A = this chain, B = another copy of it.
Amino acid sequence: MDEPVEQQQDVDELEQATLERDEYLDALQRLKAEFENYKKRVSRDQAEFVTRASERLVKQLLPVLDDLERALEAAAEHEEAKLEEGVALVHRSLADLLAREGLAEIDTDGAFDPHVHEALLSQPAEDAESGAVLQVLQKGYRLGDVVVRPARVIVAE
């Protein structure tokens, strides 16, 4: 039994279109599921990332805590030289650790810069230009591009 050629073509096209439709639907459903799983994993990972970042720093602080405790013991036994040595050691360890994390002191030589300095006082000064930093009351620090604390200064009037 011969079908008309045109009708046979329609059936082939229908078969083809149906096949493709089913394939795309299947791919779409699988991608949706994959995306959902990915999102769930990401929110778990992010919590872990934060924990691990703190863990890494906390671990590095343990030797600083140990050295501080040894310094305290030296203080309790009035071993002044050992105490001083201990404090210098603790300071060096902590400063090195923070420098490795990218912490850098904010420069205070020269003119007052409102982006990185905070003026707590202004004073008349004969031998300094107006707006010059006269004295640093508290050191400032930056971490990469971020000012974590401005330098607190006295400026010349």
Given contacts A35-B31, A54-B53, contact A139 B46 (CB under 8 A): no
User: Distance in Å from the Cβ of A133 to the closest Cβ of chain B?
Assistant: 19
| Interface size, A (range) | 35 or more
Q: Report which of B25, B34, B72, B88 forms a contact with A72, defined as CB distance below 8 A.
A: B88
Residues of chain B with a CB closer than 8 A to A90's CB:
68, 90
Contacts of A25 in B (CB 8 A): 20, 24
| Contact A101:B58 (CB < 8 A) given known A68-B94, A91-B68, A91-B69 | yes
CB pair B55–A143 under 8 Å, yes or no, is yes
A95, B69: Cα distance in complex, Å: 10
Q: Bound state CA distance, A50 and B56, in angstroms? A: 11
